[in-house]
Amino acid sequence: MMKTQFMAWANMQTWLEPTQAYYLMVMALIIVTALLLHLTLHQGVLRLMKQHVGEPGTNWRQALYRNKLLSRMALTAQGMILEVQATIWLDEGSNTLLLISLLSQLWVLLYGLLSGFALLDTIEAVMQNNGFGKKAPVRGLFQSLKLAASVLAVILALSMISGKSPLLLLSGLGAMTAILLLVFKDPILGFVAGIQLSANKMLMLGDWLEMPKYGADGEVIEMNLTTVKVRNWDNTITSIPAYALISDSFKNWRGMSESGGRRIKRSIFIDASSVRFLQQADIERLEKSLLLKPYFLQKLPEIEAYNQSLDLSCALNGRRLTNLGTLRAYLTAFLKQHPDIHPRMTQMVRQLSPGATGIPLEIYAFCSDTSWLHYEAVQADIFDHVFAVITEFDLRVYQQPSGYDLRQLQAASLTIPSSVAAVDAPSKATRSVDATAD
């Protein structure tokens, strides 16, 4: 009706026919409307929002602008309005309407898909800021949704272009299942691995992951559909296939961090020849130690009661305190009063099987601070103290001879006392005369 009225009004002597004039006016109207809408949305509304992005407490606005969600939604709306205008102004079934409708539908499908991607990226960014996204591998899940949406969008686009039902195209994909499984093998395996890792809470962002097979030893910084990225402690990046975390073994140190204690497990090697019984003078000297006083108060009466009916003239009879056992008691008391040792976790000073390098004396305890720097400092302080006090128990730390030791031994062998040389001189002269006589 509107077209008929316009053509009657335009029935004048002109070089254009009324139908052509009408179509030119409609196309001009559609183009002008699209341009005005584009300028209003992109130069007005979106620019106004950009000015408020930096305000405090607007993390979600920053995520919206950074991921271009509103910009893509505006482009999607423009495509919809274009199709609506074409439907209003153009005749139903005309080639121009069909062409504009097809292009606008493809436009809406494309930017609708991109808007969905931007929405998922925005949700992920907000979740990361709130902390929830760091505990759950949402990126892998969102990438799986993006992949599925992309496949569906391609099918719908082909359906629009060919004019056939998308169900017919989907049925044709059944014959290509084997090829699709081969092409999308890594995404499928990664998707399944991501579900298992998330459901079983095997790995989260920020966990300390150790996987020697792939040279990974550091913090998990990214978990996506196909790979897990680890920032090693030397600041290198290792990428591990997501499905490898299911098929292979790895070590997650999250339990250590959550427990509040980090294990100290280190040994010193005692020279076995320095182990002996304590003499009375040694006991009197060591009793002055505040940490050893309770130990002696308990042990000495117990040993004295046991040895009452025994002949102690032989060292093999009865019970006696040893310098190594007393050292173990001292270190046990030292750990119990140490302010950086976790009081509710295992504390132990134990003797391991002796070997060619001496007797291993191991300290097994847990530092109450799991941070790396503090843990290493506490461990070093403890063993600094152990090496310093071990001589108080007349014990020696086993150490293989170094180059310095060998040079000192050689210098000692070359330095012969003069008295020894004088005594040895006649014997050499005698051997010389005897050799001449022979």
Sheet holding 208-211, edge to edge: 237-241, 227-232, 216-223, 208-211, 251-252
| pLDDT at res. 20 | 61
CB 122 within 8 A of CB 63: yes
Minimal CA–CA distance to 328: which of 271, 389, 287, 379?
A: 389
Minimal CA–CA distance to 207: which of 370, 364, 40, 30?
A: 370
| pLDDT at res. 432 | 43
- The crossing angle, in degrees rounded to 10, of helices 69-89 and 59-66 is 60
Separation CA 26–CA 14 (nearest Å): 18
Q: Distance from CA of residue 366 to its chain's centroid?
A: 22
| Phi, psi angle pair for 277, to nearest 5° | -75, 150
Separation CA 337–CA 343 (nearest Å): 9
pLDDT tens digit sequence for 246-300: 888 898 988 887 888 999 999 999 999 999 999 999 999 999 999 999 999 999 9
Beta strands in 295-336 (DSSP E): none
Minimal CA–CA distance to 218: which of 228, 208, 226, 227?
A: 208
Please state, as a whole number, how many other Cβ atoms lie within 10 Å of the Cβ of residue 213: 10
What are the C-alpha distances in Å from 392 to residues 104, 351, 395, 396?
89, 19, 8, 10
| pLDDT at res. 434 | 45
Separation CA 26–CA 10 (nearest Å): 14
Please state, as a whole number, how many other Cβ atoms lie within 10 Å of the Cβ of residue 215: 11
Separation CA 153–CA 390 (nearest Å): 75
Q: Distance from CA of residue 232 to its chain's centroid?
A: 8
Separation CA 144–CA 193 (nearest Å): 12
For 247, the token pair is 């098929």
Percent helix, strand, coil in the chain (nearest 5)?
A: 65, 10, 25
pLDDT tens digit sequence for 325-367: 999 999 999 999 999 999 999 999 999 999 999 999 999 999 9
Q: Mean pLDDT for each consecutive 10-residue tract of the chain (438 residues)? A: 49 51 69 76 69 56 73 82 78 78 88 88 77 61 80 85 76 66 74 74 85 92 84 92 86 85 94 92 92 92 87 81 95 95 93 92 94 92 95 91 80 65 47 39
CB 287 within 8 A of CB 296: yes
Task: Count CA atoms closer than 13 A to 170's CA, side-chain side.
Answer: 7
Task: Count CA atoms closer than 13 A to 307's CA, side-chain side.
Answer: 17
Amino acid code (one letter) for 376:
E
For residue 176, give the DSSP letter: G
252 Cβ contact partners less than 8 Å away, ≥ 6 residues apart: 202, 203, 207, 208, 209, 210
| pLDDT at res. 428 | 46
